[in-house]
């Protein structure tokens, strides 16, 4: 991480916004984020509200990296991205996919609390029908299945030609066991939470628990730290978002553009899930791609999307606590 700026420097330009979602996603209808202008441009601090300060401080390190550190060299000017399909009913799939212009790949949320495997099968079938046989389909369970449930579900979904299954189980040991069980199906296992929420993000690779890493710039401490993790893991990586604003998505494109390989479409098209974003236009897919480069928020959008004074104060206090954690770790 670059030298930590002072708390006052961060707070002076900080703006807190709330972006409404077109469809409920990850259990929320509105996504809050703090945007900060650094010497290299705008950056984002947006750990989910339920995360504790220790975890959130890593996101702050990621925000500082993007706003204050020198940019990682870009290897490409555009990155291909996937559509993201929340746990909607099958008849709502076409409407969701229509928001993602030209995307050939779809990541589908499965294992939603209160739903059954039959709902997942119907949703995935609808996506396959919409994308056709050439489309790429990946599913994401967010660690909600145990090993037996995951094996059963992957077997049931295999007919739809899955590109990979993302975080089907919560623990690294479970992922390793599941990977051994489903190897004969030829469906790779990808790890997300086992990388970004782990004290040791490389353990999943050492344990042989995944074929692919899902990497997110802000939760891993920034673009430079994420690049180090990918290099040390020695596994293919898919860059994804954490339901970021367009500012955070530009951080993700910087990471994706700096990776040596670009075999998998990135999960960075998620601005299409919002009804309004901080940039005008939003950093959203065009022909299935995002351009690489910094973006700036619109002053009018910042004003229109600003949170209440109470929520603004909550985020500023959170930033202060996370800054104290990073300051202590630098000593």
Q: What would the DSSP string read from start to end of 304-316?
A: HHB--HHHHHHHH
Mean pLDDT of 246-262: 95
Q: Is a pLDDT exceeding 80 seen at residue 178? A: yes
Mind listing the pLDDT tens digit for each residue in 49-68? 999 999 999 999 999 999 99
Q: Is 216 a catalytic residue?
A: yes
Q: Is a pLDDT exceeding 60 seen at residue 93? A: yes
The answer to whether the beta carbons of residues 95 and 153 sit under 8 Å apart is: no
User: What is the reported pTM?
Assistant: 0.95
Q: Is a pLDDT exceeding 80 seen at residue 331? A: no
Mind listing the pLDDT tens digit for each residue in 130-166? 999 999 999 999 999 999 999 999 999 999 999 999 9
Answer yes or no: is 91 a known binding residue.
Answer: no
Can you tell me the distance from the alpha carbon of 323 to that of 300, in angstroms, rounded to the nearest whole number?
Answer: 29
Answer yes or no: is 101 a known binding residue.
Answer: no
Which one of the listed residues 107, 109, 183, 197 is annotated catalytic? 109
* Residue 282 banded pLDDT, cuts 50, 70, 90: very high
The answer to whether the beta carbons of residues 96 and 83 sit under 8 Å apart is: yes
- In CATH terms, the superfamily for domain 78-291 is Enolase-like C-terminal domain (3.20.20.120)
Tokens of 13: 């330009």
Can you tell me the distance from the alpha carbon of 245 to that of 267, in angstroms, rounded to the nearest whole number?
Answer: 13
CATH architecture of 7-71+299-330: 2-Layer Sandwich (3.30)
Q: Where are the domains of the chain?
A: 7-71+299-330, 78-291
Nearest to 19 by CA among 264, 326, 190, 248: 248
Q: Is 107 a catalytic residue?
A: no
Which one of the listed residues 107, 183, 197, 216 is annotated catalytic? 216
Residue 2 pLDDT = 67
The mean of the pLDDT values for the chain is 96
Q: Is a pLDDT exceeding 60 seen at residue 1? A: no
Can you tell me the distance from the alpha carbon of 17 to that of 19, in angstroms, rounded to the nearest whole number?
Answer: 7
Q: Is a pLDDT exceeding 60 seen at residue 91? A: yes
Answer yes or no: is 192 a known binding residue.
Answer: yes
Residue 27 pLDDT = 83
């Amino acid at each position: 991480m670059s030298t930590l700026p002072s708390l006052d420097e961060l707070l002076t330009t900080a703006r807190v916004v709330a972006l409404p979602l077109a469809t409920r996603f990850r259990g929320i209808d509105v996504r809050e984020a703090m945007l900060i202008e650094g010497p290299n441009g705008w950056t984002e601090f947006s750990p989910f509200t339920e995360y504790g300060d220790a975890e959130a401080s890593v996101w702050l390190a990621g925000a500082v990296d993007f706003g204050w550190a020198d940019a990682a060299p870009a290897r490409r000017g555009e990155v291909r991205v996937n559509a993201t399909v929340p746990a909607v009913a099958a008849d709502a799939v076409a409407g969701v996919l229509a928001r993602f212009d030209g995307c050939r790949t779809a990541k589908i949320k499965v294992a939603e609390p209160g739903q059954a495997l039959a709902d997942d099968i119907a949703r995935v079938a609808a996506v396959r029908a919409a994308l056709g046989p050439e489309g790429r389909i990946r599913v994401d369970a967010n660690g909600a299945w145990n090993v037996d449930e995951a094996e059963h579900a992957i077997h049931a979904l295999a007919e739809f030609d899955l590109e990979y299954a993302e975080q089907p189980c919560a623990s690294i040991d479970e992922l390793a066991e599941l990977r051994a069980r489903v190897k004969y199906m030829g469906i790779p296992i990808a790890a997300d939470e086992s990388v970004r929420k782990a004290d040791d993000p490389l353990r999943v690779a050492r344990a042989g628990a995944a074929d692919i890493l899902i990497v997110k710039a802000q939760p891993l401490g920034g673009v430079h730290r994420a690049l180090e993790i990918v290099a040390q893991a020695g596994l293919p990586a898919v860059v994804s978002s954490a339901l970021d604003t367009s500012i955070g998505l530009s951080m993700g494109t910087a990471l994706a553009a700096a990776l040596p390989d670009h075999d998998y479409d990135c999960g960075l098209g998620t601005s299409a899930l919002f009804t309004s974003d901080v940039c005008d236009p939003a950093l959203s897919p065009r022909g299935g791609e995002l351009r690489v480069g910094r973006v700036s928020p619109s002053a009018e959008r910042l004003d229109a999307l600003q949170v209440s004074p109470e929520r603004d104060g909550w985020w500023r206090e959170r930033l202060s606590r996370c800054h104290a954690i990073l300051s202590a770790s630098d000593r």
